């Protein structure tokens, strides 16, 4: 299946990633590059696909943060300072 969060692994993790993407797009007021990317994708491809794509991207980012031991930076200024 293309265009989905991988079906390998725990179902609850996939559900949590999708829910996180849903909350990021719908309820989080603070803007970030990740939210901008998701909103742009939703405009082009539809909200459902954007949520799935954002869930996958959040999973990749979280995995990288776990490996590196870094924290999420909301803005480019925070990224430059780090």
pLDDT digits (tens, 9 = 90+) for 33-75: 899 999 999 999 999 999 999 999 999 999 999 999 988 877 7
Q: What is the per-residue pLDDT for 81?
A: 67
Q: Which domain, by its residues, includes 29? A: 11-81
Confidence of residue 82 (pLDDT cuts 50, 70, 90): low
Look at 32 and 81; give whichever has higher pLDDT.
32
Q: Are 24 and 35 in contact (CB under 8 A)?
A: yes
Residue 5: inside a domain: no
Assess if residue 53 is contained within a domain.
yes
What is the per-residue pLDDT for 1?
A: 41
Q: How far is CA 79 from CA 38, 52, 76, 82, in A?
A: 19, 25, 5, 5
**Could you tell me which of 81, 62, 80 has the C-alpha nearest to residue 72?**
62
Q: Is residue 1 part of a domain?
A: no
The verdict on residue 28 lying in a domain is yes
Tell whether 47 is covered by a domain: yes
Contact indicator for 38, 28 with CB cutoff of 8 Å: no
Residue 20 lies in a domain: yes
Q: Count up the domains in the chain and report the number.
A: 1
- Residue 58 included in any domain: yes
Q: Model pTM?
A: 0.78
């Amino acid at each position: 299946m293309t265009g989905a969060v991988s079906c390998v692994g725990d179902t609850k993790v996939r559900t949590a990633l999708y829910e996180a993407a849903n909350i990021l797009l719908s309820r989080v007021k603070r803007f970030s590059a990740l939210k901008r990317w998701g909103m742009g994708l939703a405009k082009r491809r539809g909200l459902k696909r954007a949520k799935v794509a954002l869930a996958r991207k959040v999973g990749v980012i979280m995995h990288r943060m776990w490996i590196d031991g870094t924290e999420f930076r909301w803005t480019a200024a925070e990224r430059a300072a780090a």
